[in-house]
Structure 1
């Protein structure tokens, strides 16, 4: 669980892209002057781990693509040859920002906050967490993610995820 990952809400993708551009790709959540209020969720990728939380909320199985997303940043690919070996290629090394679909936001927002301990206990069983992760360790994060999604939904905003290698 070592990849820096932050979740936040914002009015739209253009606002997010401008903020990330202004921060030169650095995190836009946390720190002394954050661009957005959000949740620092180190290692909680939107595809697998957040998807497993959404599946737990829905009471169904996780499947690839459960959390639909679209790239927000970087917005353009730099000219020239790039690839995983190119340390200056943000498409290979990050940071990246993706916009999550409204179904994910609404699933998280619709969960009862009182269910956070139960959801965290179920989520802790995901093999990607590895042995030793307990539900009580994840309960505060689950509560924060549910609250973040509720605020986003109530404001008519979208959820975003910033991450980097």
Structure 2
């Protein structure tokens, strides 16, 4: 009897691993995001002597594949946010909303530039630092996810900041 229990347990573990490793399909408009699914981490470049800054980000299939949910936290919840990305058929566009622990939110559109690259344009509401727009370009290169972001802050665009994410087993945490 213990052999049968072991066999059933092994089958359940293997089946669960296969199902989780190959998530169900995404809507065709979201299919370019499939390589981004999973958990990523980036260690920000900070000035010498400054506190380290790490972002953990998780991308997952949502709403039966009609959306993608992203959550992320910096330094285990000092700052974080959550997005929902979906295809708006009336606008014929990928759109998203991003809500933050800092109390502001953004809404935006995304454009697929290639099978491995997309750009996002955001309108910011309620940011206390004077940021009103964000533009970011993201690309999968091998095992890395590279993001370059500029902010329209107090009427001027910032120099793009680039972060490189790698696959991670860490968890997104909020305080």
Q: Which one has more relative contact order, counting CA pairs under 8 Å at least 6 apart?
A: 1
Q: Establish whether TM, by shorter chain, passes 0.5.
A: no
Larger radius of gyration: 2
Structure with the higher fraction of residues in helix conformation:
1
| TM-score of the superposed pair, with normalisation by structure 2 | 0.23
| TM-score of the superposed pair, with normalisation by structure 1 | 0.24
